[in-house]
Structure 1
Amino acid sequence: MPDSPQASGKVCPQCDRLLPAAEFHRNRRRADGLAYYCKSCAAARSTASRRRRGIGPQKRSATPVGEGLKWCPDCDQVKPVDEFPRTTKSSGRHSYCKPCHNARGRETVQRLYGGTREYHLRRRYGIGEKEFQELLAEQGGVCAICGTPDPQHVDHDHRTGWVRGILCFNCNGGLGQFRDDRSRLAGAITYLRGTTWQRVLIHPGVYQMCSPTRGRPPSPRS
């Protein structure tokens, strides 16, 4: 039986050298479990690719980085690892410290979406400012429930994600508190009818204020 690639080594097609398996990165997706190119050739190819894409040389810290510390390429400062956001990468931390990481995020949002509002609408509801304004115009520029002018909150079905309309802060929050449950909303209407003074028509053009059917009056001390 012939030796396995790990035992006999492997020829790198870039430099045409027979090298030990340790000179190749691991790659579970390949039959031999090793990368196609050796480590040095892979690094050279990666560098060349970065240059073609206009990416500059990878920065390195000018000073040694001690245990529990990490260097940020943007601000060129060595900081405790807790100053770097967590990530699922093998290192457990992002490459840039929290202020630089946030600044990069804001720059990306501005470059790709033109601002945080467009980003928020696209990411949360799947619509942009243009679609928002079209929905608002269809509602006459007012809240779809109470008619308050210039509402700014997108209401959507939490089960399907479909946008239903534009609401004011109070109406949007109210639906959320009632969990979009029509039986709860109907119960609230019934409750208000039984606890709120109402104007009742007793003769044509004559109204009478009727007291609630349940509840109790406020304390004289209140």
Structure 2
Amino acid sequence: MSDSSNEPDKLCRQCKRALPPTDFHRDRRRADGLAFYCKACANARSEASRRKRGISPQRKSPTPPGEGLKWCPDCEQIKPVADFPTTVSKASGRHSYCKPCHNARGKESAQRLYGGTREYHLRRRCGIGEKEFQELLAEQGGVCAICGGEDPQHLDHDHRTGWVRGILCFNCNGGLGQFRDSPTRLARAITYLRGTTWQRALIHPGVYQMCSPTRGRPPSPRS
């Protein structure tokens, strides 16, 4: 990597000054990896845009945070940078609000826009809401689509296409995930169980006999 001090100055499109690269925010979308405007002009343009949209001026910490620290505008506390969620959308790599405030804002938004976090997550992950969830559950008779267990709560969908497949209980939903939604793996698992588990065989009408497994080894006498 080349030393940034050896990089040529960049012309700011706003103030028309030739400034060192360190005076510009990073922008991976640009060929030179730098924003169009210097940091001072970018901040001024951001504040002007916020005022035009009726957003109150951005609050700043009355005391500049030290190294490795960050100020949260909601709780107005200076906390370690690790207390702020990570993000790739900001040059700092951290969200503006600390984790408790960030989570509280997310819950408030979900409640305001969707009526609750469940509706938000259903819409975001699977594209349906609680109303459609209950309609699908009624079509299944109120039970898990695989084992028939009561009160299933997990909405199953195809991870490749996003299509909703059904509503499953915790164990069945987790089982499909562990088998990676692969019919081949599930078929092999069935074959394996049939060869290692006692089976009930019909020998006369209404008469069954338990058959021993064809594979496997008996338990150790010392177990």
Place the TM-score, normalised by the shorter chain, in its bin: 0.7 to 0.9
Shift of 1:201: 2.0
SS in 2 for 1:191: helix
> After TM superposition, where is structure 1 displaced by more than 4 Å over at least 4 residues in a row?
38-45
- Alpha-carbon displacement from aligned partner over 1:3-61 (angstroms, at most 9, x marks no partner): xxx8xx99xxxxxxxxx634xxx9x9xxxx779xx8999578546424xx3x3343232
Q: TM-score by structure 1 length?
A: 0.73
Q: Give me the whole-angstrom Cα distance separating, in 1, the residues matched to 2:87 and 2:47.
A: 27
Question: TM-score, normalised on structure 2?
Answer: 0.73
**Distance in structure 2 (CA, Å) of the matches to 1:44 and 1:161:** 39
Counting matched residue pairs gives 195
For residues 14-93 of structure 1, the aligned pairs below 5 Å read 21-22=16-17, 45-46=48-49, 48-50=51-53, 53=54, 55-88=55-88, 89-93=90-94
- Tell me: CA distance 1:197–1:138, structure 2 relative to 1, closer, same or farther (3 Å): same
Q: 1:190 to 1:80 in 2, by over 3 A?
A: closer
Say which one has the larger Rg. 1
Change (3 A) 1:142 1:21: same
- For the 8 Å contact 2:47–2:57, the answer to whether it is kept is no
1:100 alignment counterpart = 101
- Give 1:1-222 correspondences, 5 Å limit: 21-22=16-17, 45-46=48-49, 48-50=51-53, 53=54, 55-88=55-88, 89-222=90-223
Residue 80 of structure 1, CA deviation: 2.9
Task: Specify whether residues 138 and 72 from structure 1 end up closer, same or farther in structure 2 by C-alpha distance, changes over 3 A only.
Answer: same
SS in structure 2 at match of 1:217:
coil
Shift of 1:133: 0.8
Pairwise CA distance, 1:162: 0.7
Shift of 1:218: 1.9
Task: Report deviation, 1:156.
Answer: 1.3
Asked if the contact 1:21–1:34 (Cα under 8 Å) also holds between the matched residues in 2, the reply is: no
Task: Report the equivalent of 2:5.
Answer: none
What runs of 5+ residues in structure 1 fail to find an aligned partner?
Answer: 1-5, 11-19
Identity %: 77
Matched with 1:3 is: none
Deviation at 1:143, TM superposition (A): 0.9
Counterparts of 1:211 and 1:41, CA distance in 2: 79
Cα 1:43/1:115, change in 2 over 3 Å:
closer
Task: Tell me the secondary structure at the aligned position of residue 219 of structure 1.
Answer: coil
* SS in structure 1 of the partner of residue 143 of structure 2: coil
